[in-house]
Amino acid sequence: MPDQTATGAPGQSGARGRYRFREYHVTTRADPMALPTYEALCVTGEEHNCGSESGTLHTPDELTRWIAQHCARTGHQHYEQTVRAILRAEPGAWQ
């Protein structure tokens, strides 16, 4: 039997279905064999961002050093940081 609330509504058919989804529990952990990478982008500026990029760095200290050097040269104080890491999914059970 069609759902009467949808009858006559523009763009809807009279039939509706119900779908139930189960949750799949997954735990993620950083892969110990892959080192994370760090990048920074200077977003200082009123009309447009500076746009200077650190490139890919391999330690937080290298990233901090790049930011400090850029700040010393330009006086810019706002940066967007990106940290990338390889994750390993450890599947759990369906719920």
pLDDT for 51? 93
Distance CA 94, CA 24 (A): 5
The amino acid occupying position 51 is: G
pLDDT for 2? 47
Mean pLDDT of 14-23: 68
Please write the tens of the pLDDT for every residue from 48-95: 999 999 999 999 999 999 999 999 999 999 999 999 999 888 877 555
Distance CA 46, CA 37 (A): 29
Entry pTM: 0.64
Mean pLDDT of 22-38: 83
* Contacts of 63 by beta carbon, 8 Å cutoff, 6+ apart: 38, 39, 40, 54, 57, 81
Task: Give me the residues paired with residue 13 across strands.
Answer: none
* Contacts of 15 by beta carbon, 8 Å cutoff, 6+ apart: 2, 3
